[in-house]
Amino acid sequence: MLLVNQIRENYATVLAGLQKRNIPNAQELLDQAIALDDRRKSSQTERDQLQAEANALSKSIGQLMKEGKKEEAEKAKAKTGEIKSQIKELEEENSKAEESLKSLLYTIPNVPHFSVPAGKSAEDNEIVLEQGTIPFLHEDKLPHWELIKKYDIIDFDLGVKITGAGFPVYKGKGARLQRALINFFLDEALNAGFVEVQPPILVNEDSGYGTGQLPDKEGQMYHSTADNLYLIPTAEVPITNMYRDVILSEEDLPIRNVGYTPCFRREAGSWGAHVRGLNRLHQFDKVEIVQLTHPDKSYQALEEMSRYVQGLLQKLELPYRVLRLCGGDMGFTSALTYDMEVFSAAQERWLEVSSVSNFETYQTNRLKLRFKGEDKKTQLAHSLNGSALALPRIVASILENNQTPDGILMPKVLVPYLGFDKI
Q: What is the pLDDT of residues 377-411, one digit of tens each?
A: 999 999 999 999 999 999 999 999 999 999 999 99
pLDDT at 29: 97
CATH fold of 122-418? BirA Bifunctional Protein; domain 2 (3.30.930)
Please report the beta strands in 240-348, taking only residues with DSSP state E, as ranges in sequence order.
Answer: 247-249, 255-264, 283-293, 320-324, 336-344
Report the number of secondary-structure helices (H) and strands (E) in the chain: 13, 18
- Round to whole Å and give the CA distance between 415 and 409: 10
Are 332 and 376 in contact by the 8 Å Cβ rule? The answer is no
Kindly state the percentage of the chain with pLDDT values over 70. 98
User: Model pTM?
Assistant: 0.91
CA geometry: angle 182, 183, 185, nearest 5 deg:
65
- Round to whole Å and give the CA distance between 343 and 402: 12
| Domain span(s) for CATH 3.30.930.10 in the chain | 122-418
Each residue's pLDDT tens digit, 272-283: 556 789 999 999
Of 380, 377, 341, nearest in space to 359 by CA: 380
CATH, range 4-106: 1.10.287.40
Each residue's pLDDT tens digit, 292-328: 999 999 999 999 999 999 999 999 999 999 999 999 9
| Domain span(s) for CATH 1.10.287.40 in the chain | 4-106
Q: Longest C-alpha distance within the chain, in Å?
A: 108
Are 387 and 309 in contact by the 8 Å Cβ rule? The answer is yes
